[in-house]
Structure 1
Amino acid sequence: MSGRHAKQTALTLKLTGGFLAASLLGSTFGAAAHANTVEENTKTSSEVTASALNLAGLSGVSKGGLSAIQVKLDDKSKASSSTTSEDRAGAQSSRDSDEKQAIAGVTAKQFVAEAKTQLGQSEDASGETKFGEWYADTDRAGETVARDGGSRSAYLDAEWCNMFVSWVAEQTGMKDTVGQDAWTVAHAKWFKEEGRWGTTPKPGAIVFFNWNGEKDLDSIVHVGIVDHVDDDGTIHTVEGNTGNKVQEKVRDASQIVGYGYPEYKS
């Protein structure tokens, strides 16, 4: 045993003795107080103290010394508890910071690249997709069911273009700035309420469509993600629920109601 370990062992024995002595003192004083009502018990408090200390192997420690040991141990326990609370708070702060950094660190190019990893994903024979299955199990689904009616299970085989966009937002840590919804109209209105709505195409923008050329938000029937825009204004997109799968498309500006703008890293 090293010298350091020997010292630690001795200290541990002494502190353990202090706890035992304190425990014995508490029990013995309680018994003595009760027994004082009976004339047979004639021990003084000094004798009780000495007896308790002897049992603890600390016969040389005074009552004052024992109290001092207990106070130190109590202080140590409080300090340990405080440190633990501070550590927990620090860990939570670190996690929150990491999440904010993840959001701040996503570029439009990275967001589109994540969407493209799903190219070719399609509905199964029953019309269900991984995106609808994911969305139906989210907290957001509970909120949109409360808003729109229906049930979580209805999302499993519902139109899923907006659930695809929401899924990409989840995977990239961008749900707070991209938004999450299953209804294109509500999603577009959310962007407008946030002050992030417009008619200029940008890479990474969430693009909302009406095939008849109507421009009212309530007329929106489809949504996708802008990949890039050609010099002549041709808009390239990544969309879910197009031909029952995730596909790259080329869209005419006349079919576009407007754009929602996520907050990407430059």
Structure 2
Amino acid sequence: MAKHRLTAVSKSTIARAVLGAGVLASAFGVPAAAHADTSTAVAAATAAKHPATALAAHKASERDETKITATADQVLAVARAQVGVSENASGGGTKFQQWYANSQRAAETVARDGGSRAAYLNAAWCSMFVSWVGEQTGARPQVGWDAWTVAHAKWFAANQRFGHEAKPGAVVFFSWKGGKSLSDIQHVGFVVKDNHDGTISTIEGNTGNGKVEERVRPKSQVVGYGYPEYAG
């Protein structure tokens, strides 16, 4: 196979291309390092010689990455299909924890919070459950992913997608004592519907029974809602 030659492209041009790929990737929770490879350098060479073509390709790629295909109903269907999944006696053993512990996001949150990937295997998993459902439905860029409920809520808030209206498919954040600050959040799940009687119906992982369950919760325990940008 022929090797690409990059002698015509300056190091600074390649560096800028790598940085641009990293910025785009970080918007989706993907570390820049995962994109700083030889293919990026090759793309930089192409951009230097054919800027119009490169710009068109970049826009097409951006559209592909941000394309929203999952609906609220599809996300809720996948969440509901997990009802009954239970943790083991150690508080672990679920596929949600195993997936998260092996994800790139786990490496990022270990760097942020300390600990190790293995610690997630027996950690509280309500937010991992929500993240896993997003991954399975292709809605992770809209649902977000984290193991810490507070950080998950702050991600929605930082993207101007946090509010106080119960909507089907919304990600609901709870404080059992009724606190209304993001720092009070203790639990998370999906909204199925607003029952219009002061309660909401939900699907949650890591309930008090250590399972995925459908629940009815009082709105007085809700801190707020994250709104994934669904299709349809």
Q: Between Structure 1 and Structure 2, how many residues are aligned?
A: 177
1:150 shift after superposition:
0.6
**Aligned match of 2:11:** none
Residues in 2 aligned to 1:95 and 1:244: alpha-carbon distance in whole angstroms? 41
- Aligned-pair Cα RMSD in Å: 2.2
1:265 shift after superposition:
1.1
Identity of aligned residues (%): 60
**Aligned match of 2:74:** 110
Residues in 2 aligned to 1:228 and 1:262: alpha-carbon distance in whole angstroms? 15
Contact kept in structure 2, 1:206 and 1:226, CA below 8 Å: yes
Quickly say closer, same or farther: Cα 1:119–1:97, change in 2 above 3 A. Answer: same
Q: Which runs of 5+ in 2 are unaligned?
A: 1-53
Contact kept in structure 1, 2:131 and 2:146, CA below 8 Å: yes
Kindly indicate whether residue 71 of structure 2 is the aligned counterpart of residue 123 of structure 1.
Answer: no
Q: How does 1:189-200 map to 2 (within 5 A)?
A: 189-200=154-165
Residues in 2 aligned to 1:132 and 1:230: alpha-carbon distance in whole angstroms? 31
Q: TM-score w.r.t. structure 1 length? A: 0.62
Residues in 1 aligned to 2:136 and 2:64: alpha-carbon distance in whole angstroms? 15
Residues in 1 aligned to 2:155 and 2:63: alpha-carbon distance in whole angstroms? 26
Residues in 2 aligned to 1:235 and 1:115: alpha-carbon distance in whole angstroms? 16
Contact kept in structure 2, 1:99 and 1:173, CA below 8 Å: no
Residues in 2 aligned to 1:221 and 1:172: alpha-carbon distance in whole angstroms? 25
**Aligned match of 1:31:** none
Helix, strand or coil for the counterpart of 1:140? helix
Bigger CA radius of gyration? 1
Helix, strand or coil for the counterpart of 1:244? coil
**Aligned match of 2:195:** 230
User: Whose helix fraction is larger, Structure 1's or Structure 2's?
Assistant: 1
Q: Which amino acid aligns with 1:139?
A: Q
1:228 shift after superposition:
1.1
**Aligned match of 1:216:** 181
Q: Which amino acid aligns with 1:220?
A: I
Q: Which amino acid aligns with 1:236?
A: S
**Aligned match of 2:44:** none
Q: Which amino acid aligns with 1:140?
A: R
Give per-residue Cα distances to partners, 1:118-168, cap 9 Å, x unaligned. Answer: 000001233211111110000000000000111000000000000000000
1:229 shift after superposition:
1.3
**Aligned match of 1:252:** 218
Which one of the candidate residues 118, 140, 145 is aligned to 1:175? 140
1:96 shift after superposition:
7.4
1:232 shift after superposition:
2.8
